[in-house]
């Protein structure tokens, strides 16, 4: 049953403001009814109430299908293996993984023994031997700036960008489906022209294209992380576009970090430790005394904006904020909910839904970077499931 915050609050004995606050924090979802009122699923609110009042709920698990599909994947920019593992868990089969970073290559080699991993600059890889062998080509390509100079850019005019290498791989291999992944900010990059160029190039290569922003916290990931997913389907195939459907629950850090193995992690210098120790769970710099706010924030104190990532301690009862490449950056602090320290390596991995036995290699900073840059494994699983369903419809 969908009700407004006012009516839902009256029925459940909580304030409408509390419901709106949960919505703003991303703990529950709201939709618009036919009269454009914001409404909420009352059962979803009940489940959150139960969890926040100590109910024995734990939805954290790494999702994996029992059966393998027959479908094959080429993946570019494989990184530390988030999408790769998610796709494998869904039942897809990689015939090629490409990655240039040495630590990432070692991570992939250790965790995918026997896999065809090509440790070379993508610009130097010839994909023509794989023509018509891969059902899917997937890439989490870095978003580089495009220079427009007032003209419409086609396939031959995007050389020098890593998106071009993704497009070249599609052109050389002719997959049924291509999948691109990027940050939500790509929607508005250069007033949307960058994304439109990408869509135009994929259409020029013979594909129909749709894209959606997926919210990880509603897809079995204990993290508020949004990703833009672009799906391109070859025009000669009658395949429906299918994107993951959001769940009616989120997973808190309490659920995700239960019995998490101990591991290495960054540490705060004494001065920063003394500041973060004063911050309550879910709090940030505004919870400090005024004089300490000014001292810690420096010139940022007088700038506009909430700056809510600064001196930020995470909350046990919510999904994590988006993980970055390091847990102790001043603008995007990721302090443990209870202990005064940054999240450690295995906690980072848990939040990205990597299994505890996933072996990251390299320095501590390299491991943080591999995890922070990854697509959450469970998000990759849900996307992979949709791709299998799409291909099954042929």
Active-site option among 104, 123, 143, 169: 143
Which residue's structure tokens are 């791709």?
Answer: 387
CB 59 within 8 A of CB 76: no
Does the annotation mark 169 as catalytic? no
d(CA 260, CA 60): 12
Radius of gyration of the chain (CA): 22
What Å distances lie between residue 377 and 63, 85, 220, 244, CA to CA?
8, 6, 10, 14
- Looking at the annotation, which residues are catalytic? 143
């Amino acid at each position: 049953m969908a009700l407004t915050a006012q009516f839902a609050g009256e029925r459940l004995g909580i304030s409408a403001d509390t419901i709106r606050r949960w919505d703003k924090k991303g703990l529950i979802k709201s939709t618009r009814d036919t009269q454009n009122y914001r409404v909420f699923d009352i059962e979803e609110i009940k489940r959150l109430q139960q969890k926040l009042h100590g109910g024995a709920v734990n939805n954290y698990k790494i999702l994996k299908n029992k059966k393998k599909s027959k479908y094959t994947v080429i993946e570019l920019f494989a990184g530390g293996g988030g999408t790769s593992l998610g796709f494998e868990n869904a039942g897809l089969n990689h015939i090629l993984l490409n990655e240039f970073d040495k630590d990432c290559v070692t991570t992939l080699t250790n965790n995918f023994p026997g896999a065809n991993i090509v440790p070379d600059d993508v610009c130097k890889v010839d994909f023509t031997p794989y023509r018509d062998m891969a059902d899917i080509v997937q890439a989490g390509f870095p978003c580089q700036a495009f220079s427009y100079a007032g003209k419409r850019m086609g396939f031959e005019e995007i050389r020098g960008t890593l998106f071009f290498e993704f497009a070249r791989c599609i052109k050389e291999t002719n997959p049924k489906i291509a999948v691109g992944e990027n940050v939500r900010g790509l929607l508005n990059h250069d007033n949307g022209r960058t994304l439109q160029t990408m869509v135009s190039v994929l259409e020029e290569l013979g594909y129909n294209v749709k894209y959606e922003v997926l919210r990880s916290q509603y897809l079995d990931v204990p993290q508020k992380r949004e990703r833009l997913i672009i799906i391109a389907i070859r025009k000669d195939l009658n395949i429906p576009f299918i994107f993951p459907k959001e769940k009616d629950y989120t997973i808190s850090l309490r659920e995700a970090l239960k019995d998490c193995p101990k591991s290495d992690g960054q540490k705060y210098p004494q001065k920063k430790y003394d500041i973060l120790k004063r911050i309550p769970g879910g709090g940030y710099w505004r919870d400090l005394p005024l004089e300490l706010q000014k001292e810690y924030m420096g010139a940022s104190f007088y700038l506009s904006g909430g700056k809510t990532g600064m001196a930020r301690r995470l909350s046990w009862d919510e999904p994590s904020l988006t993980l970055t490449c390091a847990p102790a950056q001043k603008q995007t602090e990721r302090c443990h909910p209870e202990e005064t320290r940054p999240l450690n390596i295995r906690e980072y991995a848990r939040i990205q839904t990597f299994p505890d036995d996933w072996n990251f290699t390299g320095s501590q900073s390299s491991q943080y970077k591999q995890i922070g840059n990854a697509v959450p494994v469970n998000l990759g699983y849900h996307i992979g499931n949709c791709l299998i369903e799409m291909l099954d419809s042929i």
